[in-house]
Amino acid sequence: MEKIYLDYNASTPLAPEVVDVMKPLLNDYYGNPSALHWSGKPVKGLLHKAREQVAELIGCSPREIIFTSGGSEANNLGLKGFYFKYRNKGKHIITSKIEHPAIINPCKFLEQVGARVTYVGVDRYGRVSPEEIEKAITRETILISIMHSNNEVGTLQPINEIGEIADRYGIAFHTDASQSLGKVPVNVNDLKVDMLTIAGHKLYAPKGIGALYIRDGIQLEPLIHGAGHEFGLRAGTENTLLAVGLGEACEIAHKQVGNQKIKNLTDYFWRQLKDELGEQVILNGHPVERLPNTLNVSFVRKIGQELLVAIPDLAASTGSACHAGSIELSPVLKEMDVPEEVGMGAIRFSLGRNTTKEEIDHVVKWLIEIM
């Protein structure tokens, strides 16, 4: 058996179709998309098509899509750009304690320049309570940011319920949907979100490209000042090569949302582990409201990092770190109140389009042998 990759939540390989559409741009289509001559116009057309493909995936207008260098920049633009534009109306932001560092750290930065941030906790499944969000709202609240799904345990958040609350109070609502796109349906109008983050390398597009959806009417202060690229919100000549790749990836994802094959394999994987290991293995995250490709399990009284080291041909992620003999649980597992003897054995297996049943069977065999 060759090496097995079960770390699709960390990064995905490029889809073959994405590679194909990008190839012509390596030699041709070298003009600046802002140029009005024969070399620039075709490139501008490709950029517009890519924007349409991204918009189609989430149900918005192409003009509401801003290309960025990835999910982190999109999150920073959404949070910082909104705060600096609207801080005269209020300085309070609400987010959760289990957000990705690309949300937590911008919030920490904003606290240094005058913002007040409330970090709402989660239940044992890693789920945010809409009621707790509503309780945290004050007259100063201008922005709520809650991830669509958790990258570590896969738990889906009640975004539409939170969106209704935000809408009722007239508060802007942002969600980081980097892990969700292509796996579950995501529509900005159904969710009632005003901003949404996309990361290319999570859905079979290149690294170094992402996008931020900004609902028409929402204004942001740019992070990068210069010429008027990306509707004046991100200066710098657009990376058409990567944008075209992201556009194609979004078109493919739109056709494959709710890929039943991947969900079936994930469920099969969990059943096999449970049948073979019984009480020695515990599921982390919500049993139902979870990404269809994500399986975060704890091998009780084992150390996840040591298990993965013992299986060098397996690529997966651990939920704990071992430093000088001590175990440190991930912030997500800590907030879920997962006991240390359980959390220290956590491993996140994330499946993808290329995962096969044979690979899952082989991983189960490896794990049983190690246990």
The pair of three-digit structure tokens given for residue 106, joined into one six-digit string:
């911008």
Tell me the C-alpha distance between 263 and 362, whole Å. 18
- The DSSP annotation for 282-294 comes to EEES-SSSB-TTE
For helices 101-112 and 71-86, angle between their N-to-C axes, nearest 10 degrees: 30
Cβ atoms of 244 and 205 within 8 Å: the answer is no
Cβ atoms of 87 and 114 within 8 Å: the answer is yes
- Tell me the C-alpha to C-alpha distance, in Å, between residue 89 and each of 83, 128, 150: 9, 26, 30
Classify 125 as helix, strand or coil: coil
Cβ atoms of 237 and 225 within 8 Å: the answer is no
The pair of three-digit structure tokens given for residue 267, joined into one six-digit string:
């469920």
Tell me the C-alpha distance between 76 and 141, whole Å. 18
Tell me the C-alpha distance between 68 and 239, whole Å. 9
Q: Which residue has the tokens 């070399």?
A: 39
> In one letter, which amino acid is 252?
I
Pick from 183, 221, 188, 186: nearest CA to 203? 183
**Active-site amino acid positions:** 322
